[in-house]
Structure 1
């Protein structure tokens, strides 16, 4: 065992003990975070506008601070972007993370001196939790690749601007720098396809042991590696043993990845965003990710089915239940207050608190009152893959409310298969059965003949890559919405078919 591996194991044990200390006292931990946030921001513009000096309890906070999304918080954020101090958090943020917004255009999320360490600590601790559980440290001496955005930063009004993944690149610890790929120059390539080609050339002859990124973009990297080398990824990188991912559910990709790699490798799921790093997988055999309660983020939860009601109940950890679909609301030491992140989660454990990401509150299908969410379509797809042995590149789901044949409406699954299967009708039947079992509203609509069973539209190879490229969202942290309540994405995909 190398010195680095030995030190990693000792540090992993230390972090595990520290995590157990706060995770075993979750309510007290969150109460302390809440009071610290209110106290530190009481003299900011936002704090004065919302009478933080009078807030003593969560009930007070609910009265003073409404739930807001980015657009609703934007008047304050615009002042931050303009360089004004003490608006949402004391002083100025050190960075503004630029993200793509569907309704807002570009979004600028503040990252402060207080919040930035949370991003780095969580990423580090996710790996250390894996080491603590498995004892596997061999990978620490190999090369690690993190598929990420351009690390180049601009400065505006005394604040640096860039993509979150690019900002994080500036914080890679010195002891990892010599192990980290791709090079700075390659990471700065804007064109994603050219960037992947350059990454392949830089890494194909290296001892790659850890690979990290959004599955759909890592898949493109793997396919290029195989095309260039003629070898499975696992044969090319004989010591590759750990895949780290976030942003989307890995399960629909797992069979395809194992085929590309040629064997199974361990994986760690992360739940990061520009707004904060919220959770990571701390156990290989436990479902869900450990919710990070001591990192300057106070969490509230609103039942998704009640979210669009007037004044829906805002719950804290004391009141949440297993298996319920919640919209996650955050208040953070970056100055986001009562902020609707847009993600929906479900708790898989309450001791400690573990979550899965179930979808997006804006990404659902309820054209007929069915309330279908991302988790349900992903689970159905995974069950169909297991039952029928096919693999996919990507898929999305949309309602068809006005069929050309004038028959009953239905859900259309637009699927890019790795190889188009011969038993498409059997796959459709399995998907539909799984959806009925998971979603009682969908079951009632099918049985009541309001909807007919779902259908699959097979797409030509590279349809989703062409879609993302046409919207300037190829690569990086961009993701295809898993489902939509309209046919905008479906129609764009149809236009790309021969």
Structure 2
């Protein structure tokens, strides 16, 4: 196994030179991607409609191709789902990644071409390993199994076209992995693709607890559920008693900060590594390339062309859009992507901030629809997650999940506030201190929030429900949204979610 580990480490390190190239020449690489996408798709139905043959610059692209959200791309996607080809991309598209966004009731179907599968999703997974072994050359990553905790991964044929298939992005990837990659993973493909989560967790626990698991990849929330169940079944104090060679958790989808303390309890080792990725149904966008950092390297050679909308422009009918070379440090941008899967100037719904320009590194700052700005406070997900993390550290508590929403004025002499429901696996030692720290941190990192909190004039202090473990899982289940691709909305600018959750607290 040591010989295999040495050989595989050498193989994966070969890619580092190519990554260094786009770090050193980011604009040139993105320009090449841009012109390759335009040239490749110029004879598609979409390309003809918007005159791709006449696009010679980014300015032409802006002038000729409008910004699209899912509803505007949907007619083209539905044509493709019915079996029509050469609509948005010239090669055949027979796979679709089903995404519910966060907790929305309507599913989205994202086209997955062979190019996007190979040159984006697979490449991102391989680069994750390349960057990891480059940072940790003594790794034994290839001496055991990789535990992959996918989403709700059932794959179905489409009713409108029996030659096309859909599933969540992890299902699409798992179904198309080469045999060598399948052999390195646990659990079995049959178990990994189960859609009923309670049964799936039970079966995964029984299948994997006897394996030599060296790495885990998945969403923190479901990973915690699985690890806790394995510890129950094996009567273990921590997961290292089950998997002594476990060395890394590759995680994404939600910010890791609020979960860090719980993972340190489950995996009590200073040799355990955590590596963040930024991938979605629409593509693989970023990977943590530095040790002990929460910055993500923007991956620029995956067949994705990036554009950015400054957040102050977001709600305008014709917003200003800038290419990569014009972004500034520390500003909030909404992400636009054009991809080798046939998405064009597509609003993915995420917001990012650049922490570095050379190379281009980012932090995910939130969602374009997930914020609280009921009183001009402009609190984004990044603010909330930081405040939660500080408050938990100060009170020796462990967070499982949370959501927050505004409390509106209900009389002329009342004040607004933010109401939080926070689920804990370990409740705070001092709940008053928790509230104080959360509020103080928000005031420190968000000047708009601080201004509204001045002498409690516009905003009162936060109102917090300290919920027991299991609440959010129960709520998601009651909505038929239990599964890896469905996420609890961290923030909402209305009370659509929080009122129902509070009712379940009793």
Q: Please, what TM-score do these two structures have when normalized by structure 2?
A: 0.95
Aligned partner of 2:54 in structure 1 is 54
3-state SS of the aligned residue for 2:279?
strand
Looking at structure 2, the residues matched to 354 and 309 of structure 1 have their Cα atoms a distance apart, in angstroms, of: 27
What is the deviation of 1:441? 0.9
SS of 2:15's partner is: helix
Distance change >3 Å, CA 143–CA 404, structure 1 → 2: farther
> Which residue of structure 2 aligns with residue 136 of structure 1?
138
* Alignment counterpart, residue 345 of structure 2, candidates 298, 315, 338: 338
**More displaced stretch, 281-290 vs 107-116:** 281-290
Q: Given that residues 306 and 335 in structure 2 are in contact (C-alpha distance below 8 angstroms), is that contact kept between their aligned partners in structure 1?
A: yes
1:251 corresponds to: 257
* CA-to-aligned-CA distance 1:383-438 (integer Å, 9 cap, x gap): 11222221111111111114699631101121011132241111111111111111
1:316 equivalenced with 2:323 (yes/no): yes
Contact 2:148 2:187 in 1 (8 A): yes
> Aligned match of 1:192 in 169, 173, 197?
197
Is residue 159 of structure 1 aligned with residue 161 of structure 2? no
TM-score by length of 1: 0.96
CA distance in 1 between counterparts of 2:188 and 2:445 reads 45
Could you tell me which residue of structure 2 aligns to residue 68 of structure 1? 68
Q: Any idea what SS the aligned residue of 1:496 has?
A: helix
Q: 1:79 to 1:178 in 2, by over 3 A?
A: closer
RMSD between aligned residues: 1.8
SS at match of 1:459: strand
Matched, 1:285 2:292: yes
> Which structure 2 residues correspond to residues 88-237 of structure 1 after superposition, within 5 A?
88-101=88-101, 105-117=106-118, 118-148=120-150, 149-150=152-153, 152-155=155-158, 156-157=160-161, 158-231=163-236, 232-237=238-243
What is the match of residue 10 of structure 1? 10
Structure 1 residue 263: Cα displacement:
2.7
Q: Does 1:465 align with 2:468?
A: no
Q: State whether residues 92 and 159 of structure 1, in contact with CA within 8 Å, keep that contact through their aligned partners in structure 2.
A: no
Query: Once the 2 structures are TM-superposed, how far is the Cα of residue 142 of structure 1 from its aligned partner?
Result: 0.9
Q: How many residues align?
A: 498
Q: Could you say what secondary structure the match of 1:488 adopts? A: coil
**Cα distance per residue 1:306-352 (max 9 Å; x no partner):** 21123221111111111111101000111101100000011111111
> What is the rounded CA distance, in whole Å, between the counterparts of 2:154 and 2:359 in structure 1?
35
C-alpha distance in 2 between matches for 1:476 and 1:213: 9
CA–CA distance in 1 between the matches of 2:90 and 2:351?
Answer: 30
The answer for the alignment partner of 2:307 in structure 1 is 300
Specify whether residues 229 and 104 from structure 1 end up closer, same or farther in structure 2 by C-alpha distance, changes over 3 A only.
closer
Q: Output the CA distance in 1 between the equivalents of 2:216 and 2:294.
A: 22
| C-alpha deviation, 1:153, in angstroms | 3.8
Distance 1:208 1:404 in 2: 58
Q: Match of 2:43? A: 43
Question: Structure 1 residues 134, 397: closer, same or farther in 2, change over 3 A?
Answer: same
Pairwise CA distance, 1:461: 2.5
1: distance between equivalents of 2:432 and 2:414? 18
Distance 1:247 1:317, change over 3 A: same
In the alignment, structure 1 segments of 5+ residues that lack a partner are none
Give per-residue Cα distances to partners, 1:441-488, cap 9 Å, x unaligned: 111111161111212111233110011111222122221111111111
Q: Tell me, in whole angstroms, the C-alpha distance in 2 between the residues paired with 1:188 and 1:294.
A: 29
Q: Is the 8 A contact 1:151 1:170 kept in 2?
A: no
Quote the Cα distance in structure 2 between the aligned partners of 1:34 and 1:40: 10
| Structure 2 runs not aligned, ≥5 long | none
Structure 1 position 103, deviation (Å):
5.5
Verify: 1:266 aligned to 2:273, yes or no.
yes
Which SS does the other structure have where 1:97 is aligned? strand
Q: Does 1:487 align with 2:495?
A: yes
Any conservation in 2 of the 1:209–1:242 contact (CA below 8 Å)?
A: yes
Cα distance in 2, alignment partners of residues 227 and 344 from structure 1: 39
CA distance in 1, matches of 2:336, 2:233: 45
> Partners of 1:402 and 1:260 in 2: how far apart?
43
> Partners of 1:285 and 1:263 in 2: how far apart?
15
* Matches of 1:12 and 1:179, distance apart in 2: 15
Alignment of 1:434-445 (within 5 A): 434-445=441-452
